[in-house]
Structure 1
């Protein structure tokens, strides 16, 4: 299939996904050794079509069989291959593995500008939004109660105090959640890349369960800011919601 596509491609091209094949022994851990003939065939096709394997900046193994103890197998089956000219024209090209919680295959992302420093706008007015994902949070009730019951009876002043108190609290809360997400993602990396497979399967399931819970909270966080009412429950769409929310922010700034 790659040869047929390569024969018809007249310009730069990228192919990515689950190849169900490995290139060398470093891309598999556990189970039987990879079949040499299949590895050599994969390499020959890449050399013939002048394709480059973009190594991920984060993560390595992309498939885990989720078995316990000594039966755990890890392989790098998912990847991006590009023509040499793509790498030459996009020096900041990068890929990374995004750990999943509901699948034995992890997602991979290709970013043509992934290694280029980026600046993100920050508007403090977004800090005053209340989040539905914290509606059952006991801490937020205490923050509101302290701000509301301070001296003064003017309702306008009370509301403004609540807004002012919630702003830094929400930023801190979201930052803490993002920090835990990064920590769990790193923990999954360490478990998958670990040489020991005795307790890896159980730890992997528990860590992915907690990460799935935080992904749901983060999705709710950005869903509210995007005001996308057509989507209620479903796939992880944080990367869709974030640009939508950022777009609203830009329009607010232009009108002010």
Structure 2
């Protein structure tokens, strides 16, 4: 296995994660020998072009191999998923939002259901607060970069006014903070904790974040011999099962 990985590294190839299966071949005996013989390899540039590529295995049918299916445009964002950002506690207004929700007492005698209601209310309030006071970091970076570019072009034909120079200087400072914030978000999503935040390579972290998103994707749930594939159905069944336990 070590030699195999070194060969992939020398060829600049990486294996695409196989979702839902550990083995792809069986010798079909009573006590079968199971192996992973079928694999899909790709390059980092290809993975950058198709970040949502999803590899799964079908039924082996009459064969002893499981056919692999590689979907290039699988929608892994079915429904909006709440993600707590590690930098939120450092932003003004975060603690106030949490205190307001925590002081609200739901009219629910069951402590588990009451906790569930509080957690749901907290996620909604934090998502609304983040959207209103923080917004999209990528969009802000694009806007700041575009404005700085326009000022740079204007400087070639005329001197900037004091207000324009002050705004350009402010945008450059804001852009540094937004870039650091983007690295923090990418670092949290990638779970690569052995690199310093300041040394983060954004493209590197985004590739690992895409890989982690594909690996954590749940294609279906089976509850009481019923199969659920839609995001809303899976979320509802998961919530019911958690409360029941």
TM-score under structure 1 length normalisation: 0.45
